[in-house]
Structure 1
Amino acid sequence: MSSNQEKIVECYTGNSEDGRQNYSRNDSLEFYYTKKHLDGLIKNTDRVLEIGCATGYYGFYYADKCKEYVGVDLMDFHIDTFNKKIRESGVKNLSCQVGDATDLENIANDSFDVVLCLGPMYHLPLEERKLVFAECSRVCKTGGIVAFAYITSIGTYAGACVYDDWRKTYPNEKTNDYILNKGTDDERPELFFFTMPEEMESIAKEQKLTKIKNLGTNFMCFMKIVNDMTDERFEVLRPLHDKMCEHESCTGMAGHALLVCSK
């Protein structure tokens, strides 16, 4: 069980994850580029497991692109919402269950072709992130795909330093210590945890996972600019954002990123 489970549950209680992909343009980019980075890796014959499935955004997106999709989430109220949506939609190859990413006790070894971990890394310290890597590797078939979403420390901090509402506060010595040294949020240090691409790749290597790509999905330094732009202006920016999400040299400056591996 994750050591900060109560704080994670408290964070999400009353804060709807349903529709988060449309909260803002910057939020939507995380979902758009996550899907883009996974293009071609999920086949219609695959069993797909998503850990941290929330209320089923990716599940419904991939339902007609795979054989079976199983979601796992720590929050029973997320699973209740997801199950309700499954019943109402009539989609037959979707299911979901409550579970802890650090101990997937109800999931058999080598049982899924694709394992997506698209949220737990945001809330777990290093040693517990390693447990999640181990569990994801365990339940994935040899030759399968495993993907991990995470928050970068440098990209997040740099974004805070240039964001209009925050740059009077950042940088500061406390944040230097918390984010750069401890890898945790300065305001909610037991709830949000940050890492860097190299650390994620190192943990993957420990689990005998082979990196396919490690790319950004959105960039906090662009957050306010992106959210305030007109649609027409954003379309002019999009080619730059596309390039930043295509090159690993930019990943450390991302806000959110996705490490995709093979087992």
Structure 2
Amino acid sequence: MLLINDLNVHFGAAHVLKNVSLSALPGAVTCIVGPNGSGKTTTLRAATGDVAYEGSITLNGHSLKRLEPWQAARLRGVLPQSSTLAFPFTVIEVVRIGLHTGEAGDQDHIALAALDKVDLAGYTNRPYHELSGGEQQRVHLARVLAQIPDAKPDDDPRWLFLDEPVASLDIAHQLQVMKIARDFADAGGGVVAVMHDLNLTSMFADKIVLMSDGSILAVGHPARVMTNATLSRAYRCDLRVSCPPPGNLPFLLPHAARAAAE
């Protein structure tokens, strides 16, 4: 499991995370939500070792501070909010970055399977910089899936850490990416995702961690966390759960598309 205890992060004089404690289980999708500046991404970056922190973080029983980078890379793949490439790579070259060196490094079938999962099977030789923002985001997800192709090899769960994985995507690809996360968890891996879309979060999350002002405001099943009072308090605006808009305005929820696809 991922276990975070008494996590504190300071950026200069700013106390960004304040005594954050949470857990995430393999076989489940754990989503971290909250308003801008609430500490979601910083929590994820601490859990992946990308920012200095005080407190304790363990992954599958291993202290994060004691793991070598190559050991951590075998346990989890990380999709950041954005990635910048300075060189003119093709799509397949970007995805190959996720492959382990040595024996697995030349196994192109892993990279090709990852591209197929994100609906980019015909894009192998396309220049990465010529793709749309959403396509580039899916290329990087394929890179992560090439790094962690199996959810639970040798009974040791692997992890996906995803920071706003659907932010640049259309509805169809949002559903596709969330299904990838769901399938990975169902296969025995663990998924921790920072999310802004509360509808998708409610559809796919087993557990929601709602943050506000660098602390955890609520934790639990979507039905427990996503209430009028709790969400209104976190986002500092009047929110109503499961209520159609007034004035007979049209509205769309992605769960209908998911149900039709299934």
Give TM class, smaller chain. Answer: 0.3 to 0.5
TM-score, length basis structure 2: 0.35
- Structure 1 or 2, whichever has the larger Rg, is 2
Structure (1/2) with the larger helix percentage:
1
Larger relative contact order (C-alpha < 8 A, sep ≥ 6)? 2
